[in-house]
Structure 1
Amino acid sequence: MHPQSGEIAGLDQAAAASAHTLIDAHGSLGASAELRSAVAGLRSVVRDSWLRSLQLLGSPANARARDLDQFEPLAAARERSPLQRVLPVLDRLLVEPARDTGLIVAITNEQGRLLWVRGDSATLRRAERMDFVEGADWSEAAVGTSAPGTALASGRGVQIAGAEHFAPAVQLLSCTAVPIHDPFSGIAVGAIDLTGDERAVGPHSLALMRAAVAAAEAEMRLAVLLSHHSSQLGVHPGAPAKADTVATGRISTLGVHRARLTTVDGAPFELSGRHAEILTLLAARPSGLTSGELALRVYGESAKEVTLRAEIARLRPMLAERGLDLVPRPYRVAQGIASDAVDVLDLLEAGDVAAAVESYRGELLPASEAPGIRELRAEISATLRDQVLSSAEPATLLRYLELPEVAQDAQAFRTALRVLPPHAPARSRLVAKVEALES
């Protein structure tokens, strides 16, 4: 992400301007010591991207967007992109708020080609003069360091401001971009970019973009489930489809005492405590659990498989009514079952802490005493806390502090005080909270 505004951002711009001057003066520096010296003052994400860009392009003078229509017409590239399904979500969350603000939103494919560019009309005209237009290639291989290309190359959200761009023609703009992934395979299918003046790299821009990407990925998941409703509903790409598959399920388990099961064929259904535990554990292990493994996770050391089989006998017909097959050896839901708990763990594994906090509604089945649920609950809570405090991103921290389970966590509140700006409105409330906890 981009550092704080003000003095630090000014130093970053000075370092980037100096790097441009040194490279312009010496021409192509290859992999020499002079090259590394030239880029040494850049932020690490920018420095790594510049080194890749120099290797790919030789010099900033060679950086230019390419028209790829000769290889694939723009209409065909759009039709092939799964992101066409989430345009209404991105319009609502990003494009509409950007109008008349000096900001534009670009959506790329997995190769960095701009498929859609929308937003403020004046900035669209400025961007057009820099070839930041629909159909153009903005990968690092074409233009060097830029937010959309660098986000795809690095696999994480980035902010590129002014002179940090590799191409001289682009240095009047700043941008924030976040990769967007296929919700089933985890493969990047594009990037979402916010471009404009310094507001595009403001302190909350990256969190905003991550939240929008998380919403779009959730919409992509739903769109795939609906489009495969007849025969492949919920089956991951590459997995064998069942001819009799008619539905898939999703279980909501975070911050609730009674979990709810949802399928596209019916209204949400409230589960009993034991059925919620079983389905939550199966969702966390898609490959399935043996009878012994599942019994141990549900009942503990005193588990008897006959008790589990009796519960399964009650659960199976309820699932069957909703188009879900609970099959044995090992136990699993044949069509697959998703859960909000697994979604949070996946986001944390991908390093998207802001989206994980946004998706986390509270502790996993807080009333459950099942050993497997307690273990999973502790894993989610501990992993989330560790990554939030390690990232120390103010907006994410403040959202995290709203959770009931954090109310007595003095370290979390102290961390927020450490990273918040001196005049942030929330500081007085946090100071009072820390004093109360430590009194």
Structure 2
Amino acid sequence: MITASWRRSMAAGIDPEATAAPLIYDVAHMGDVRDAHPLQPLLLLLATTLTAMADQSAHVAVITDSSGNVMWRDGNRAIMRCGDRIGLADGHQWAEVSMGTNGIGTALAERRPVHVYSEEHLMKVLHVWSCSASPIIDPDTDEVLGCVDISGTAPSLHPATVALVSATAKLAETQLALRMHERDERLRRRYDALRDHDSILITATGRVIGGDPSGLLGERVPVPVPGESISLPGDRAGLLEPFHDGFLLRTSRATTPPTLQLRLLGEGTPTATIGGRKLTLSLRHAEILALLALHPRGLTAEQLSFYLYGDDGNPVTIRAEIHRLRAQLGATVTAKPYRLTVPLEADFLHLMRILNNASAKAVARAYPGPLLPRSESPELRRARDELEVQVRAHLLRNGSPDDLWTYAQTANGRDDLQILERISTSLPNSDHRAITARTRLRAP
């Protein structure tokens, strides 16, 4: 195992004379990193277990993500100060491609518990260290989620420590399995409540958990994409549609995936409707959906972060928000890049489409107010301002007094002097709309 790890490390160009792990995350962003990670609900349990081991044996305990990036560290203060000098600390990366053979990186690469002692490390600076580490493997996806590690100076770390970190990893996997089964049961209960059972129930990760007693699909299908067609035996095809936080595979009749409907114009609360469910959106989730609607080919986490926050953005925060958004809307957003995977109807996109050829009356009716008026996103501010200018110009050029009055009820139209003057001069003096327009014009 060590020989194979050295070969991988040398092939990756690791310098045995290097002195420290690279810093990947700013420590100030570690809270966001932890919140975005699937192990976040178990961090307290793991930290408590590992800290007890490290305190008793004068070592340092570490939890990483699947890339070997340290998410949490605690233990003996003197050993942690030594760890600081080699980057065995929050935000640093310990994958084999960064640090060569080491407990964390090799455990992740091998997908099994390992003990790396002293000069088994490729980098010379690590020869005074020994470490025992074990990967945590998601029972839902069979993917490595992260790693738990106990490290210390070479003479003091007993090889039996590997059994302790292995048990800790198994504890995490057991908790993950329990949570998975609870999610499955909730999904099955919703599925059982359906009158139409002409479908197969599939989790968001592709596991088949209902409606397939003959094992037509096996235990798992590729990770589903809404609207995707799956070939079935007997020259049939099934179409996937979102169902709560999973999917239904319709096998007996053609169907189309449900449409995601967004209502983001005006001063009301932004909402999304899908599969008959109407959901209230937080401002951040509404902003993300609006940006994805404006960029149908998709956006990376870095692009989304820039469009939302400008140069101060943090892609880790975006990943955490996407995780929460998918918990609310199911797998309607896919990754790499992030994009919407279901048919979309959005009030602001509809307005953009009709501006060039629709009547002023249709435009006025389609515009209840600005796009997400509370948003400070640079990209959405630009889109909001452009839409406002286009609507206003269209109505001033083509609109009747009725159309202008409709616009005057919006957030920006209420105090628009040109709109109000046009209303006041186009309607009889006794018309209540003309009276209201003159009153607004006289207001300080």
TM-score when scaled to structure 1? 0.42
Q: Which has the larger radius of gyration?
A: 2
Structure 1 or 2: larger strand share?
2
